[in-house]
């Protein structure tokens, strides 16, 4: 097995810089579109055979150094008893948002083996097929809470923030339940065979640092502490728009911190202390001409040498309009340039 990703997570020396991309399986790939045309998104997430197929697609095509489980961060929220819909052009929708004491108390803590068996079966299937490590994942509690409180995506998070500030006890009840659900879900993924786990905090950057410290960070810390009791696999935390939060996230008990593109990689590395670093190419940089894209990648690889361990990735997910040939150029450049640097 190609173990460069796992070694980099632990700060060990590698033959080249490992690379994988968030949303590396998805709508930019014609092979994914073919599978997706057969059924709706949520049904796809619940089909282990097809989830296995689309997880493998980018690894087989581009030779990424890690695979990430194909699923969605909101699957556990449905398992908590919330109706979930995905609408084309609108994204996820919770028709019954959680904004009352009664709704919060009705949230259940699911049993992953009973309520989300399709995710665990997908992990088991993938472990039989993969020649690279498999990353499991979940959404971080604050990010998940925004969806269930707002009823979907939001620009200003009015419902969430007003609850935080005006009804903190209700907010804590919701977050405590989401945190318990997320911990058990990730532990189950590790037991099923995931070889690393990433916690996605997609909306953490919507918080002022003082509010992040109070209303989001403790729940992340709780999950990481729970995971450390049950598994020794690498743990990754990614806070989107998180450059302003590094003072707080650098203290987390995670092996790797994911960095978005809104801060120079070298600056982030200086702030994160003993963590390995993952990131941080702007996803839209994949639209650069080949020579400019390769030059940017070479510069990032040079900066990455200062990290305890470095994993090349995007600063967020691949967007659907991306040309797959550009992804191929990027992955090949990472492998080519970093291998040469190790030999020199």
Give the Cα separation of 288 and 299 in Å (integer). 15
Q: What is the C-alpha separation between 309 and 222, in angstroms, rounded?
A: 24
Which of the 8 DSSP states describes residue 207?
Answer: S
Is residue 27 annotated as part of the catalytic site, yes or no?
yes
Candidates 139, 138, 6; CA nearest to 66 is 6
Angle subtended by helix axes 141-150 and 168-192, to nearest 10: 120
Quick one: 86 exposed, middle or buried, by C-beta within 10 A (0-12, 13-18, 19+)?
A: middle
Q: CA–CA separation, 304 vs 67, rounded Å?
A: 21
CA neighbor of 189 nearest in space, from 100, 19, 69, 278: 69
**HEC-encoded secondary structure of 89-149:** CCEEECCCCCCCHHHHHHCCCCCHHHHCHHHHHHHHHHHHHCCCCEEEEEECHHHHHHHHH
Q: Is 36 a catalytic residue?
A: yes
Q: Catalytic: which of 28, 65, 72, 255?
A: 72
Is 65 considered catalytic here? no
Q: Among the options 28, 32, 147, 237, which is catalytic? A: 147
Q: Strand, helix or coil at 231?
A: coil
The sign of the torsion formed by the CA atoms of 332, 333, 339, 344 equals positive
128 is catalytic: no
Closest C-alpha to 99, from 140, 144, 150, 141: 150
Among this protein's residues, is 23 annotated catalytic?
yes
How many helices (H) and strands (E) the chain has is answered by 17, 9
Active site residues: 23, 27, 36, 72, 147
């Amino acid at each position: 097995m190609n173990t460069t990703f796992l070694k980099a997570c632990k700060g060990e020396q590698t033959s080249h810089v490992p690379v994988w991309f968030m949303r590396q399986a998805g709508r930019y790939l014609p092979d994914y579109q073919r599978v997706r045309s057969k059924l709706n998104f949520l049904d796809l997430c619940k089909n282990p055979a097809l989830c296995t197929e689309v997880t493998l697609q980018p690894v087989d095509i581009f030779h990424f150094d890690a695979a990430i489980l194909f699923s969605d961060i909101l699957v556990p929220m449905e398992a908590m008893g919330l109706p979930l819909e995905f609408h084309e052009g609108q994204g996820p929708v919770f028709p019954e948002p959680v904004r009352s004491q009664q709704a919060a108390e009705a949230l259940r803590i699911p049993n992953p083996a009973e309520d989300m068996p399709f995710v665990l079966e997908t992990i088991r299937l993938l472990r039989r097929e993969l020649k690279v490590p498999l990353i499991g994942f979940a959404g971080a509690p604050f990010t998940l809470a925004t969806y269930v409180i707002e009823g979907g995506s939001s620009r200003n998070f009015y419902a969430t923030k007003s609850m935080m500030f005006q009804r903190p006890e209700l907010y804590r009840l919701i977050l405590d339940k989401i945190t318990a659900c997320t911990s058990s879900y990730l532990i189950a993924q590790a037991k099923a065979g995931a070889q690393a786990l990433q916690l996605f905090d997609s909306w953490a950057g919507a918080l002022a640092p003082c509010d992040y410290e109070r209303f989001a960070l403790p729940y992340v810390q709780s999950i990481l502490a729970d995971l450390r009791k049950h598994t020794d696999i690498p743990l990754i935390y990614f806070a989107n728009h998180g450059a302003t939060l590094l003072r707080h996230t650098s203290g987390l008990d995670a092996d790797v911190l994911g960095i978005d593109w809104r801060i120079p990689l070298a600056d982030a590395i200086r702030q994160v202390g003993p963590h390995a670093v993952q990131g941080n190419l702007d996803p839209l940089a994949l639209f650069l001409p080949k020579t400019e894209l390769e030059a940017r990648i070479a510069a990032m690889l040079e900066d990455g040498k200062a990290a305890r361990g470095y994993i090349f990735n995007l600063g967020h997910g691949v967007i659907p309009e991306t040309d797959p040939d550009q992804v191929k150029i990027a992955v090949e450049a990472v492998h080519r340039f970093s291998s040469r640097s190790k030999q020199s």
